[in-house]
Structure 1
Amino acid sequence: MPAKPSDELARMILNVIALIPQGKVASYGQLAQLAGLPRHARLVGRVLREMDEVSDLPWHRVVSSQGKISVQKLDEQGMNIQASKLLEEGVAVIKGKINLKLYQWDGSIQ
């Protein structure tokens, strides 16, 4: 089993996730880069997996580098929870994918 990310590294990643604006998405690699941890996209995934399910952080705005939905959890109606949350924010999800040219966060803080 992989080692648990240090609290400091996790905090760095979670701080960047908190900055992703509504209606935008970011990839795992992009978040790692913005957190000062280039080439650590998998660490971002590990931190997200260990996050509390009731967190207020916008975890649903994190997608793969191809714009694919990563989380496969379904709600009571059988809808993908991540896709539902993105749709509520106006992000189009087509066949489990987001058009990164339209919706990828540029990293700027608003």
Structure 2
Amino acid sequence: MRKVLHEDLIYEILAAVGEIPRGKVASYGQIARLIGRDNNARLVGNVLSHAELYGSYPCHRVVNHAGRPAPNWPEQQHLLEREGVQFKPNGCVDMKRFRWEC
């Protein structure tokens, strides 16, 4: 049986993403921990992939734990660079410098 996401949970995730300051990034796991769902990084990614249905959120500020942007979203790197986020030669965000410390 497939679980249905409740809108409260969706908006809780999106609210946490909305708090990420310009020029900083957070990981999917970090957002999951912020909302008290430590092991639900994939859930966060799933919600963010449909975020446009719920309004405008800075989803481009969420990357994986290593700083890798979403694989099928080439604009994400450009959006982050416009905010001053720098990438390492391997294509990942420098998480030591740009991770949001919340």
Number of the residue aligned with 1:6: 6
Alignment of 1:20-59 (within 5 A): 20-52=20-52, 55-59=55-59
Report SS of the residue matched to 1:12: helix
* 1:54/1:9 CA distance change after superposition, 3 Å: closer
| TM-score, with structure 1 as normaliser | 0.83
| TM-score, with structure 2 as normaliser | 0.89
Which of 101, 104, 110 does residue 99 from structure 2 map onto? Answer: 104
Unaligned segments of structure 2, at least 5 residues: none
Q: In 2, Cα distance between the equivalents of 1:28 and 1:2?
A: 22
CA RMSD in angstroms comes to 1.9
Number of aligned positions between the proteins? 101
Number of the residue aligned with 2:82: 88
Number of the residue aligned with 2:65: 65
* 1:53/1:9 CA distance change after superposition, 3 Å: closer
Task: Letter of the 1:104 partner, please give it.
Answer: R
Number of the residue aligned with 1:77: none
Q: 2:28, 2:45 within 8 Å by CA — same for their partners in 1?
A: yes
Task: Letter of the 2:10 partner, please give it.
Answer: A
Q: In 1, Cα distance between the equivalents of 2:2 and 2:99?
A: 29
Task: Letter of the 2:8 partner, please give it.
Answer: E
Alignment deviations for residues 26-59 of structure 1 (CA, whole Å, 9 cap, x no partner): 0000001011211111110110112117942110
Q: 1:86, 1:93 within 8 Å by CA — same for their partners in 2?
A: no
Q: In 1, Cα distance between the equivalents of 2:78 and 2:54?
A: 16
Q: 1:68, 1:96 within 8 Å by CA — same for their partners in 2?
A: yes
Q: 2:61, 2:80 within 8 Å by CA — same for their partners in 1?
A: yes
Moved over 4 A (4+): none
* 1:91/1:19 CA distance change after superposition, 3 Å: same
* 1:54/1:96 CA distance change after superposition, 3 Å: farther
